[in-house]
Every structure is written in structure tokens, then in C-alpha cells.
Amino acid sequence: MCEPWRGGQPRAARGRFEAGARPAPPARRAGATFRAAGGRGFTMIEILVVVALLALVAAFAIPKLDFSSYRVNGAARSLTAVLARAQRLAVTNQSNVNVLFDAAHNAVVLHEDLNNNNQMDTGEVVRRYPLGDGVVYGLGGAPALIYTPTPVSFAVGLNGLPELTFRRDGSASQNGTACLTSAAAVATPQPAYARCVEVVEATGRPSWYQYNGTAWVQRF
């Protein structure tokens, strides 16, 4: 008597068609296309053409970018921030804070004068802030903002440098401006690069201006 079949499908076939089992995806064949899921791919030639076009556009666009303008704007904002910090320190410390404009080194120096003697004594904090790459004190051919037509209108003081002092009530020692421009505008006047930071004596508040080629415009 023949024994009834109990095994169902053969073991090899059963392993292939068990519930949830999926056949392994075919091995990816190396080719010259890159395909997104469900979309058309790009050939290597197409990618190289796009890269070449981007390089061509960059070659024409980058020389037209005006980095000097960005630099002098950044320097004017930084100088304004340094002056505002000096004012805050004077109020916080309840003593004078001197700001020196060092044109020879294209920097601004902040001195916490704790005993108000206008001397850099031992233990007093002195900080130096560079104006930034390609930025110098100057007007670059632009007219004076309000005061004398010089890069820095503050009177000469400590160490023979133009000096501005913030007092403990937040006021400044004098009215005046410190003007910046691009280093390139010194050799070849370019008034549009001129920026000036003004300080008002009564309030001590600093604000900066940009020369647009015809007039000074307040920016902050």
C-alpha cells in the first residue's frame, strides 16, 4: 500500500516560497548611469557638462564680487561694537575707558583706566582690535562726514594717538569721527568705500555711516 504524501512541496522549493520571503535583488551591474529611485538617471557625460558649466559661470561671476565693500562694512560694524563696549565698561567699572586709534598699525586700542590718570599702569587691561584685512583709516576721496576732513578727528592724547575717553556716566570726552576705507582706495581714490563711525559727546553713542558716492547715509 502506498503511503500518502505528507511533505507538501520539496524542502528546497518550500524555502523559496515561504510567506514573507522575497527573492534577493539582482546584483547591480557597473554602468555609466546614476539612477534615482523611480526616475531617469544621469550619464557621466551629463554630469561633467554640468560641472563645466558651473565652473564657467563661477569664472565670470567671482571677479565681479565686491569683497572690499564687505570688508569695510564689517570693519565699521566692528569698530562701532568696540566703542559701544568701551562705553559699557566705563559705566560698569565706574572709571574712564580710553579708546586709541592706531593708524600706523590699522588697529583700535581699548584701555581700562581704573584710576583715571590717563596712563597705562600695571594691572590695567589693554586690548587691541585690528581693523581687518584690507581696511585702513582714511576717507578714500570722500568728503568729511561732519568734522575735519581727516581719517580720525579726535584730538591727540595718550601715546601720541587720537584718543576718545568714555566716562563713568557713559558720556564721551568729545564729538568726533573715525573713518575707514579700503586699502586700495588710498592709492586710487574710491569714495564709495568710505565708512565713518561717529560718537556724540553728550550720549557717548556710536553710529556708523556709509558714503554712497554722493552723500553720507546712516547705517546703524
- Give the C-alpha separation, 196 to 178, whole Å: 6
Q: How far is CA 183 from CA 18, 167, 214, in A?
A: 78, 33, 21
Q: Note the Cα 93 to chain centre separation in Å.
A: 30
Q: Which residue has the cell 568734522?
A: 147
CB atoms within 10 A of CB 220: 12
pLDDT in tens, 122-154: 999 999 999 999 999 999 999 999 888 899 999
- Give the C-alpha separation, 153 to 87, whole Å: 19
Residue 16 has pLDDT above 70, yes or no: no
Alpha-carbon Rg for the chain in angstroms: 34
Instruction: Report the SS3 class of residue 10.
Output: coil
Q: Mean pLDDT, the chain, as a whole number? A: 85
pLDDT at position 187 is 84
Q: How far is CA 74 from CA 17, 49, 68, 204, 219, in A?
A: 69, 38, 10, 21, 12
DSSP annotation of 157 = -
Domain boundaries along the sequence of the chain: 67-218
Which whole number is the average pLDDT over 99-124? 97
Proportion of the chain above pLDDT 90, given as a percent? 64
Residue 17 has pLDDT above 50, yes or no: no
Q: Write the CATH number of the domain with boundaries 67-218.
A: 3.55.40.10
Global pTM reads: 0.72
Q: Which amino acid is at 183?
A: A
206-211 β-sheet, strand order: 135-137, 176-182, 195-199, 206-211, 216-218
pLDDT at position 63 is 57
- Give the C-alpha separation, 77 to 85, whole Å: 12
Q: Please check whether residue 114 is in contact with residue 124, taking contact to mean a CB–CB distance below 8 angstroms.
A: yes
- Give the C-alpha separation, 153 to 176, whole Å: 5
Q: Which residue, 142, 131, 146, 135, is CA-closest to 181? A: 135
pLDDT band at 35 (very low <50, low <70, confident <90, very high): low
